Chain A
């Protein structure tokens, strides 16, 4: 069962390690406003910025070009760094790259691995706490949008989404709808109807 918890609220009477919580010998307390899943013992924040973790795939904008490093804006208090020696193509300020988080460094920087330039298309930013819902279980939601609109979509866990080709407008609407209604039930069905109902979406 899920219930809404507020910061400081006691979740369980024993100290257990859960993300977005703190614990002492008397119990575990929520640090954020979010959903607490008692079965799986997880706290899902309703809002919030992206916290980098090893292995996260992200999308960012090249902000600065230095001698052997690119500084990348990641829609977060953390700045991404990518070494030029790992990139085949030349990047310039304003380019979009997708990459994987390698490690966190001191001073609020994130080392990025395998940066790849994304050409053309459209960039949009959404709340990063809604990203898991946009991707869906085992990529189901994302696959549904991609199939329904024939758009190539790349989702960064930092809340930045890149779209190219197909019916971009419909794909954008679908993503915004998921963002607004992420907490409701039966969303997959509604998105299915939405994608199917648009006549301009019929692929010949």
Chain B
């Protein structure tokens, strides 16, 4: 596909469209694209989920292994989140060591999960010098904007439906009748993009090319748990207050998706 990144015509078109309160795919400013979640996609993983938001497609796998605790937290298990931007997803993603975008994506997902206390890391403690390592690996299979919300949604869906392996006499048992991984909370995130003077929810690929700044707000039912602002543009305090309100109303919608697959 041709890269629209440098096209001034596309930039002006997107700016004009958003300034007049419209969007390329006909959505409203605060609308998500079609979201779908499926789980159990990877049979060998303890938990997995595939999330699509419009054309963006993310696969998250959760795996538990035995590791040693961090020196500053000897009684707690570890959560290790990583994200990979596969070259198959977009022509702008390259092979090689993780790009700054991939690191940011993994850290934002990780921060939301940690801050909301979905996983009680103390419960991952096994015995002296032995704890569970909880790996959350995100793979971007197709890129069309808003990887943050898709990753958080997929990670929470994968954690909520993950199996908990047993640890007996120094061995890990992954087969048989296993219980579910205990999750205490549910977190979702909403990403906003500022294009010109307007702010839109769930930016798609073209909108992300020309946005001045980006804000991701992660929240659960009660409070805002984490935030991440990207790029060089700015948001006013009033903007942010507004966006938090929108986030709270939109997150009920997102939580329903996870509750649906949790009930299955």
Contact = CB atoms under 8 A, between A and B. Distances in A.
A56 to B, nearest CB: 15
Contacts of B6: 61-63, 73, 93-94
Interface string B147-177: 0000000000000000000000000000000
Contact of B3 (A73, A120, A121, A162): A73
B26 A169 contact: yes
A122 interface: yes
B7 A125 contact: no
B7 A94 contact: yes
B95 interface: no
A63 B4 CA distance: 11
Given A75-B1, A75-B2, A169-B26, A61 B13 contact: no
B8 interface: yes
B145 to A, nearest CB: 16
Contact of A121 (B4, B9, B26): B9
A123 B7 contact: yes
Contacts of B10: 122-123
Interface residues of A, number: 22
Contact of A96 (B1, B3, B9, B26): B9
B11 A160 contact: no
Interface in A61-86: 61-63, 73-75
B252 interface: no
A115 to B, nearest CB: 15
B12 interface: yes
Contact of B2 (A118, A119, A121, A160): A160
A123 B1 contact: no
A118 B1 contact: no
B3 A122 contact: no
Contacts of B8: 94-96
Given A122-B13, A169-B26, A61 B7 contact: yes
B6 to A, nearest CB: 5
Interface string B1-27: 111101111111100000000000010
Given A75-B1, A123-B7, 10 more contacts: A61-B2, A94-B7, A94-B8, A95-B9, A96-B7, A96-B9, A121-B9, A122-B10, A123-B13, A162-B9
Interface of B: 1-4, 6-13, 26
Interface of A: 60-63, 73-75, 93-96, 118-123, 125, 159-160, 162, 169
26 contacts: A61-B2, A61-B3, A73-B3, A73-B6, A74-B2, A75-B1, A94-B7, A94-B8, A94-B9, A94-B11, A95-B8, A96-B7, A120-B9, A120-B12, A121-B13, A122-B9, A123-B7, A123-B9, A123-B13, A125-B1, A125-B2, A125-B4, A159-B2, A160-B2, A162-B9, A169-B26
